[in-house]
Amino acid sequence: MFSDHTNSRSPFAFYMLQSANYISLALKMALCILLSISCRKDQVYHQVEKPTPYAITIPRFFPTTLNIPADNPMTVEGIELGRYLFYDGRLSGRTDPDSLMSCSTCHLQAHSFECGIDHPVFSGGHPFGLTGIFTPHYMLPMINLVWTNHGYLWNGKVAATNLSHSMNNLEDLTWMAIVAPHEMNGDTTKVAALFQSINGYPELFKKAFSSDQVTVKNIGRAIAQFVRTLISANSKFDRFMRGDVKLTAAERNGYVLFMTEQGGDCFHCHGGDGNPLFTTNLFYNNGKDSLFFDTGDRYSITGNTIDVGAYKAPTLRNLTFTAPYMNDGRFKTIDEVLAFYNTRLVWSPSISPLMHHIGTGGIRLSPPQLADLKSFLLTLSDSSFISNPAFSSPSKFPDEK
């Protein structure tokens, strides 16, 4: 009833089946070739879009250990974006002219990225936020922060040792500034959404971080990259160390006083030729008071009673531009600071053991010696730092080009 043709094919059918197989194979090969070309094109595209690495040039005699986290390598594109963000008042998450605030609102280049005693808004150099609430402390200058490895702020709160992983490094200071009532008093979600909507910024984020999605994390990364480029290493003392200039007799005498315990005894906390940062970046009770009421000292971080009344030793670089001095801004001039260390030190149980002259109330230098010490301190001023165009405000923001 059934023909044997049900189990066999005609020569024509066999030919057609083979042809179909050949065509299918050819199509598959063509598809693979196209996919391969497409993949190669994608690879080339991503290579072109990859951010350009940026290597920090370490000045002569400076430390070689830099604080650059592995997840935020320095790039040309990241620094460029960070500079825009550092100066853009919309970082507050607002566009109203009365509600703009950026890092540069308080951190002025003319004062080594500190507020400065003559700030047109913050009288006496004490900043306050959009709410009118004053910052807990006066400011530290943004100088050579890429070498800070023992914590940021006067009490070292932002450090690798902080158990809160959102307060570990320079990158984290941005979101903290955005939400702090004594600074921008903003909302990080709104900030990210605002910059996502501003022409030019998504493209810059894509160039810097391979994604045009704006996030506060990448905002912080970009600003941190820019801040790490703020290097001051061209003072008269730097040029002296390089053999380019000579110090005057007064400056040389001042340097000897700076570097000896019998003299000014400054070097233990503030470094010298072996530590050109002119700070150890560590924390000391330097004898300002005998009673302590500030809840933001080093003790508030460590819980160790030896840290009561202790604060970071600030860099002595660019003292000319960074008044007022101390965490509470109590001294308005360098002369006032020298007078304090000379005769006005106050003992307390947590006084730093490096304050060797606490027993006599100060270093007890003569007026000519104090004048020489001041002469040396002034050699640490780097006018090129406060005028470097690479650190200044961009002429236009991305949406203005």
pLDDT at 33: 47
- 24 sits in which H/E element: helix 11-49
Mean pLDDT of the chain: 91
Please state which of the ranges 3-17, 241-255, 319-333, 349-363 shows the lowest mean pLDDT.
3-17
Domain 76-232 CATH superfamily? Cytochrome c-like domain (1.10.760.10)
pLDDT at 20: 47
Among candidate residues 142, 111, 114, the one with its CA nearest the CA of residue 226: 142
Ordered DSSP codes for 110-126: GGTSB--TT-SSSGGG-
Spatial separation of the C-alpha atoms in residues 24 and 18, rounded to whole Å: 10
Residue 367 has pLDDT above 50, yes or no: yes
Q: Where in the chain is the domain with CATH 1.10.760.10?
A: 76-232, 236-378
DSSP 107: -
Is the overall model pTM greater than 0.85, yes or no?
yes
81-106 pLDDT, tens digit per residue, is 999 999 999 999 999 999 999 999 99
DSSP 91: G
261-315 pLDDT, tens digit per residue, is 999 999 999 987 789 999 999 999 999 999 999 999 999 999 999 999 999 999 9
CATH number of 236-378: 1.10.760.10
Over residues 40-63, mean pLDDT = 77
Residue 8 has pLDDT above 80, yes or no: no
Among candidate residues 259, 313, 314, 316, the one with its CA nearest the CA of residue 284: 313
pLDDT at 4: 39
Structure confidence at residue 167 as a pLDDT band (50, 70, 90): very high
Percent of the chain with pLDDT over 90: 86
Residue 11 has pLDDT above 50, yes or no: no
Tokens at 52, concatenated: 């350009």
In 3-63 the beta strands, taken as DSSP E runs, fall at none
pLDDT at 24: 53
Spatial separation of the C-alpha atoms in residues 372 and 369, rounded to whole Å: 5
